[in-house]
Structures are given as C-alpha cells and as structure tokens.
Structure 1
Amino acid sequence: MQLKVLQATVGLLAAGSAYAAGLAQKRINTLVTFGDSFTDVVNTGDGGVAWPVYASSYANLSLHPFARSGATCSNKITNRPFPSLFESQLPTFFAQKANGTVTVPADRTLYTLWIGTNDVGSNALLTTYGNLGGGASIVDVTECAVGWVETMYQNGARNLLVQNMIPLNLIPTYSNGTYPDRFWNLERNSTAWSLSMFNLVNAGNALSKALLTNLAPKLKGAHVGIFDAYSLFLDMYHNPARYLNGTAPLNVTGSANACVFSLGGATNTCTKANGSDRDSFLWYDELHPSEQANRIVARQIAEVARGQQNRWTTWLS
C-alpha cells in the first residue's frame, strides 16, 4: 500500500497541475481552525496571541477555533494524551454545528488545518513506531491529514486550506545545535534528529501535495488550497530582517523563552526576552514559532480570506 502511494506521489509531482484562482469571489466572513499548539488560541504556543486571532482581526472574520495544544491527526496512529483532530476536534465541531452553537455559511467560511508537528516529533514518529499494527509511518499520518479535507467536504465545507509542516529541523529542539530542553531532556544525537526531521517533514509535505492534487478535482464545488508554511518559515529563517522587528538583535536559532535542562530534567537554566525584544526571535521556545512569526502567518491567511493573491498559497481547485 505504501509503495503504491509513493509511486502515485512521484507521478503526480512530475505531472504537475493547472492551479485554480482561489477565493476571489467568495467574500469569506468566517474562519474555522483545526490543528495543534501552533493554532490553539487558548493554550497558545507562542506565549502571546495566536495567529487565528490576528487573522480574524486583520480580515474582519468571525472565528471558531478548534485546534488544541498537543494534538496529532489521530491518536489511533500516534497516540498522545491530547485532543486529536479526528477523535476530539472534529466531533466537537460537528456537535456544535448540529446544535447551532457554531454557524458556518457554506460559501463564506474558510476552514484551515495546521497539523503534523506532534505527529512527526518526539514521542511520535521521530522516536516511536506509532500505534498501527506493524507501526505507523509518515504515509499514515499524511493520509490522515488529507482525510480531513474529505471529511469536511462530506459535511458541507467548500473552502479548505491545508497548512503544511514548517522546517522543523531548524527549530531549536530538532536542530543540529539542540540541547536538553522542556520538550526532550534525555540523550539524543542532534545530527541524527535534525536529518530525520528534515526527511520526515519534506516527505510528508511532498506526499500531502500529491494526494491533495489528486483529490481536489474530485470534490465538486470545493476550493482546496495548500498554504506553504514550510517555504514561508524558511524565508523568515534566511531573511529575518524582512519579518522580525524587535528591539534585540535578530535571532533565528535561539528562542525568546529558552530553558536548558540537565539530562533527565533535574535542573534547568532559563532565559526570557521581554517586551519588544521578543519580536526579534523567530521561535518563542524550543518548539513553537514566536508571536511575531505568527503575526506574519496571520497576515498571509488574512490575504487568502480576502480573496487576494498570496505568495505562499496554491489553490488546487
């Protein structure tokens, strides 16, 4: 099964596709978000305001946030004790939609999904084999994320945006210069972690693009897009002066809230940037983008919602 999927991926990427125009005529007024701590508006990964709140403000949208910190696509694939997309977030959304708590105009609602960081990370694919019989792989978690598009479509969604994984090999906890931190304070081979994460993320993003390219034309009346968060964050990493605007020296390798632990986590030494200094950092802590980075994400998503052309977004239908 996995070999056939990968063969199909190669064929689709070679063939390419004629990309669609997007949401120019949709007049989006509602944003519904799914995912993990990158998107959670309550337990915010950036230590400040999450990007959906900024995006809804920038584009004057009604926001319905369902993303939850720690989530994976499915606990049946990579089991973590957090509200996963398929076992928690989607059932909650469907229940609230059914009882009228959430109102989502079909043509004027944009649905987004940003998932994968926990699926490929420590205590998941990077360090374990997953829950499926014989173990889980990047193919399984990617097919799960693409399955969100089909599930939402079958339940009336017509404007769907998948945000791909960022270059996690550059984020402090998975970089080549990693150290014991709050997310993993045990032994690790930094070079091996970074290379493995590079391969997992790039394989998952390529497979997701191929599967979505194949799926999108089959969903009549739907607009399916990919937001290339990977390329956006890579650009922020290599060209920080275009994006970061804090009062401290610009920093794309450290984090605004860094904690170096002893092996096993018995002790730690923490440093924290305050005030406008925080906006000089690409990363908030060892695992999460900074609030300034998320403002950039929010501006891009707001452009998408307003029906404008966006450098980082490709519409497949």
Structure 2
Amino acid sequence: MPSIMKFAIPATIVALASAVQAVEQLPAGTIKNLVTFGDSYTDIVSVGDGGTAWPVYAAGYARAQLFPFAKSGATCSNNITSRPFPSVFESQLPAYFSETKNGTLKLDAEETLYTLWIGTNDVGANALLTGSDNASIVDVVECTINWVKVLYQSGARNFLFQNMIPLQNTILYAPNSYPNRFWNTERNTTEWAVFMTELVLSGNKLAELMLQALAPTLKGAHIGLLDSHSLFADMFAHPQLYLNGTAPFNVTGAVNSCVFDLNSNNNKCTVAQGTARDSFLWFDELHPSEQADRVVARQVADVIQGEKNKWVTWLS
C-alpha cells in the first residue's frame, strides 16, 4: 500500500491562526463612540430601509454616541468605480478629517469604533457588474483595506469591517428579477445573478485574506470582521428567526416594490403598511428592511459592548 504523504504546516501560519483565535472581542465598557462610513445601507439621512438606519439603532442599543459619515450611493472610490455620489475616499474621509482637524470632532481612539460597510454599489449595475473602465474587484477590495490603513495612520485603533451581503438574493440581482426602479430595461437576470454571486464571494474572500495579512502589521489595532454575508444568508434561509411582522415572512418580495412595464407607463407598485413591514427581509429591490437593519444593529451593539458574537471574527 502506498504511503500517504504528510505535509508540515508552516509555523507562521499556526502562529497567525492562534493569534486570531486568541482575540475574542473588545474589552467591555471601553467603546463610547461609533463612527460609520459606507453607502445607503448605512446612511442615516437618505435612509435605504425606509425607516431608521441601523447605526441609529446600534448606538441606541449600546448607549454610544454616533458620528455618521456614510452617504447614499457611495462607492469606495470614484477613481475606481465612478458614480456621481460622495464616495468614501473622495468625500467621506475628507469630511471626517476636516472635522478632526478644525476641532469640531474630538474622539479618544481607545473609546471609538470605526465601521465600514461598502461594496454594494461598487460591484453593482453601472459599476463592476456592467463594466467600469477596466476596474476589477481586486481594485475595489484594496480600496476598502486602505480605509483601515488611512484611519490607523490618523490614530484610529478599533475597526469593524462589514463584508458584502449575498446580493444575488436581493430582488435587483435575483435570477427571477423584474424591471424595477433600479434597472428597468432588458437584461439577462440569470447572468446577472451568477456574476453577482462570483463578485461578492470573491470580493469577500479577498477582503478576509487582505485583512488577515494586514492585522499583524498594525500595532495596537483591533480589527473585527462582521460576516454580513453569512448573517443575511441565514436571514434568507431562516426568516422566522429574525423577522417579526404580522404578515407571512417574505424574503423574495419587498416592503416597497415597483414592477415596471417595459411597454407602457403602467407600473405596478405595492407598499406594505404598519407591522406587516417587519415581515420582509427587503425594503425595496436592493435595500434591507428596517427589521433586517435592527438585526445588523444588534450585532454591532454586541461589538461596542464587548460581547461575543457568532458573526464577528477578531483578527487582531
């Protein structure tokens, strides 16, 4: 019988794995401030969920002070995926640094958690999905990792990186999608769903690997990875564990949906009312519902309060 070859695992990989496993969460009671960056999933003014955005809930749950910089429509950088919206690097970070420089914003680094939830617009329609000046998912992910580096160099030390959700489960990118407010012309919905699945999975894995490589190089930093992808996949598969509205649970429809008629202006829109809204995973064809955002808020509140969370992995 042929012998089975055995390969030794490099000591550096073992050491890194042990270091990751040794970090459980931030110390309880240390975080008093929450600073948020991102797109409409996080914007508290132009709110994507049709109600109250998750950062407001998270700050309330954890009794933290909120400093919001996320803007609807944003990408990580307009130099990579050009869109006419305030991106993280060309607008949100400059706004943050302007406030810290002029004294408007004074934060203790040890008491502040910085979060980034970006990527939905970067990989979406009118960006990587449909072509974006030779930009790639690698460029986008490198940009998000640079967000950590830039803030660290400015003195920030506590980071929560929120990865992309399974966007192929949103109505806009689902295989059985329909013409809607975000895309109302002909398209191959199956092709979009397959491509979006690949973009999200590869982007999330790249981010994970890059963060793992970065973490040991940033002395004194605490970097957490919130697996939004797995969280939303679980909500999609087991809505009864997360949704609590008075209508039947719904993960394929939306609180506010509009089916566009390509041959006329006779668009059909439906809007759920009252407590029935909390039975939906999606608010519209692209955005999570307010109830889904409450779920996200509880995960972030756990981090702020120094509690263990099954969806968060600490890399340093």
What is the match of residue 125 of structure 2? 122
Deviation at 1:199, TM superposition (A): 0.3
Trace 1:8-87 onto structure 2 (pairs within 5 A). 17-18=17-18, 19=20, 20-25=23-28, 27-87=30-90
Per-residue CA deviation, residues 182-219 of structure 1 (Å, 9 max, x unaligned), is 00001111110100000000000000000000001100
2:238 maps to amino acid: N
Per-residue CA deviation, residues 15-71 of structure 1 (Å, 9 max, x unaligned), is 973312231256100000000000000000000000000000000000000000000
RMSD: 1.6
Q: Is the 8 A contact 1:185 1:265 kept in 2?
A: no
Trace 1:81-100 onto structure 2 (pairs within 5 A). 81-100=84-103
1:17 maps to amino acid: A
Per-residue CA deviation, residues 250-278 of structure 1 (Å, 9 max, x unaligned), is 00011010000123884421000011000
Deviation at 1:105, TM superposition (A): 1.0
What is the match of residue 170 of structure 2? 171
2:53 maps to amino acid: A
Q: Does 1:254 align with 2:257?
A: no
Distance 1:146 1:13 in 2: 21
Consecutive unaligned residues in structure 2, runs of 5 or more: 1-11
Counterpart of 1:82 in 2: which secondary structure? coil
What is the match of residue 313 of structure 2? 314
Structure with bigger gyration radius:
2
Distance 1:265 1:310 in 2: 49
Deviation at 1:98, TM superposition (A): 1.2
Q: Does 1:110 align with 2:144?
A: no
Q: Is the 8 A contact 1:23 1:307 kept in 2?
A: yes
Counterpart of 1:173 in 2: which secondary structure? coil
Q: Is the 8 A contact 1:67 1:89 kept in 2?
A: yes
What is the count of residue pairs matched by the alignment?
302
Distance 2:77 2:250 in 1: 34
Consecutive unaligned residues in structure 1, runs of 5 or more: 1-11
Distance 1:137 1:22 in 2: 33
What is the TM-score with the length of structure 1 in the denominator? Answer: 0.93
What is the TM-score with the length of structure 2 in the denominator? Answer: 0.93
**CA distance 1:27–1:220, change in 2 (3 Å):** same
Q: Is the 8 A contact 2:174 2:189 kept in 1?
A: yes
What is the match of residue 4 of structure 1? none
Deviation at 1:99, TM superposition (A): 1.3
Counterpart of 2:202 in 1: which secondary structure? helix
**CA distance 1:78–1:231, change in 2 (3 Å):** same
Q: Does 1:224 align with 2:227?
A: no
2:292 maps to amino acid: A
**CA distance 1:277–1:13, change in 2 (3 Å):** farther
What is the match of residue 142 of structure 1? 141
Counterpart of 1:48 in 2: which secondary structure? coil
**CA distance 1:187–1:61, change in 2 (3 Å):** same
Trace 1:234-273 onto structure 2 (pairs within 5 A). 234-263=233-262, 266-273=265-272
